[in-house]
Structure 1
């Protein structure tokens, strides 16, 4: 066996869910992740309430009620809760926190997050008499929900930034168990590693993969390939290999499941596609807080750059081709 030492992996048998007995968890932010975690925790026997903004302006109130949850204003929910679990998007958290949460927190409560952004970069500064923890399921809300319903879960991590009670980690782990992540495994890490690792992943893995697909499509079309073929090669083909690689590892996939032509292509030409220097630069910028600063500034200005890119990409040849392709060849 390899001599690589893995960090401690917490599974169901390692975590005491009764830590949450008699405690109320208020979910603040009933979006994709909020809905999934709320429903999973409720089905694990946890008492869940939802805190939402003005009912006349926020559809999340009606959605949570339709799902059978008691819904209160954010202020009321914080007053009633033992654990306040914030699942709002990062740049929106500070204004909601200081308007509706901060002054309602009581000593001994737990303030919980699903991403460490606000704590790491100081846009939220909790009082010193509450526990501050983190639980992150490593996947989008619908996947977290579906895995739970299937009897499985999605890998996650926990972290503690402030441990007033002496039991903050037990609380974070109990939340992760209630959501279903300890069914497959949860690890402990710092707020910094979780936050900046996630920021780096989204820039390099998601950003790099999507731009790779777009560039490949554009080059093939520019050189006369049929759009349907270029789209299938640039987008759909990757679906056929990801699950295999995840199941058996890269080397086993290349040597036992891929063709020899594919294996040679990966080993011979793959490295030329990757700009390792740029990846290092993005990593360093992420750790210096450059990405966080740029994103907070973009959000504060109303997301003008993001909105323009959305419009440009939506009108692109690739997106129009993709819509037709999916209609003709299925999803």
Structure 2
């Protein structure tokens, strides 16, 4: 019998939301995550306000107002809040924080993040008399919202960087419960593990999968396959296995749900596709802060490399094929 132990998994019955009673949560950043988490928390009984930039320059103000939230400038929202929950993109956080948040924080407040990037790499240094916590649902905003509406939730994690009150973990868990994550489970970890694990995942899993799809499509088209067939094989086919694998595990999927041809292909040729040495190198670069440095530099320069890649990819044969494919075969 396997006796290995998992980390503590917090679920609804483990979390008391009374710690949020009478407290105001100010969500700073009303994008994909901001909207989803704000609406979930409100429907869980939490008093939520939204902090936004100049109304004339930021559409988030009008979006949050249309969704029924009280919206204030970021400075006003911070002053009114007990918990300041920052949901801005990582490189955009430091200037907003130092221009509109830092000087308005007061002792006893909680500063909360959905990713530990700014705190771990020191682009934000909170005052020492407040709690600093993290809660992140492991999925995009629309999925977090839909799962909540369906009565479920999305796995998440919480972390504490500063615990002045002695209740920082309880606050982070209460936020996680309000957003819906403890319906399925949330785990506690360090800011470092959450941040670098996320950075590594996005480079290797997301980056690797997307580039694998692009490469497979290009090779098939180059060798004479119809574009629609190549697109279906490179993109759409993966849908058919991910949910099954998540539901029953890799081995059960391979031995019970996949064909024997598929099983042999996976075990025989799959390892040849993976460059484990390069994956280890990316992991070490992530832990050394090299990825964070490169991303902060890219952002500070106006994202020239990223913008060029966006243009190139948007105009690629695969993307154009995808538009036609979705029109003809549906989403």
Q: Same fold (TM over 0.5)?
A: yes
Distance 2:80 2:297 in 1: 34
For 1:201-260, what per-residue CA distance to the aligned partner results, in whole angstroms no more than 9, with x for missing partners?
000000000000000000000000000000000000000000000000000000000000
Instruction: For residue 3 of structure 1, report the CA deviation from its aligned partner.
Output: 1.7
Partner of 1:80: 80
RMSD between superposed Cα atoms in Å: 0.4
Instruction: For residue 125 of structure 1, report the CA deviation from its aligned partner.
Output: 0.1
Partner of 1:18: 18
- Equivalent positions of 1:40-51 (< 5 A) are 40-51=40-51
Establish whether residue 90 from structure 1 lines up as the match of residue 90 from structure 2.
Answer: yes
Distance 1:100 1:314 in 2: 36
Partner of 1:242: 242
| 2:235 partner SS | helix
Partner of 1:180: 180
- Equivalent positions of 1:266-281 (< 5 A) are 266-281=266-281
Partner of 2:37: 37
Distance 1:279 1:161 in 2: 29
In the alignment, structure 1 segments of 5+ residues that lack a partner are none
Instruction: For residue 84 of structure 1, report the CA deviation from its aligned partner.
Output: 0.1
| 2:91 partner SS | helix
Partner of 1:63: 63
Distance 1:150 1:323 in 2: 30
Distance 2:120 2:329 in 1: 45
Count the aligned residue pairs: 331
Distance 1:38 1:4 in 2: 37
For 1:259-316, what per-residue CA distance to the aligned partner results, in whole angstroms no more than 9, with x for missing partners?
0000000000000000000000000000000000000000000000000000000010
Establish whether residue 307 from structure 1 lines up as the match of residue 296 from structure 2.
Answer: no
Distance 1:203 1:278 in 2: 11
TM-score, normalised with respect to structure 2: 1.00
- Equivalent positions of 1:248-263 (< 5 A) are 248-263=248-263
| 2:225 partner SS | coil
Partner of 2:101: 101
Distance 2:18 2:39 in 1: 18
Instruction: For residue 192 of structure 1, report the CA deviation from its aligned partner.
Output: 0.2
Instruction: For residue 2 of structure 1, report the CA deviation from its aligned partner.
Output: 1.8
Distance 1:44 1:100 in 2: 28
Distance 2:154 2:212 in 1: 27
For 1:29-56, what per-residue CA distance to the aligned partner results, in whole angstroms no more than 9, with x for missing partners?
0000000000000000000000000000
For 1:110-133, what per-residue CA distance to the aligned partner results, in whole angstroms no more than 9, with x for missing partners?
000000000000000000000000
In the alignment, structure 2 segments of 5+ residues that lack a partner are none
| 1:161 partner SS | strand
Distance 1:175 1:243 in 2: 28
Partner of 2:142: 142
Instruction: For residue 4 of structure 1, report the CA deviation from its aligned partner.
Output: 1.7
Distance 2:301 2:330 in 1: 39
| 1:122 partner SS | coil
| 2:302 partner SS | coil
| 2:84 partner SS | strand
| 2:319 partner SS | helix
| 2:9 partner SS | coil
Establish whether residue 190 from structure 1 lines up as the match of residue 204 from structure 2.
Answer: no
Distance 1:23 1:145 in 2: 22
Distance 1:2 1:111 in 2: 40
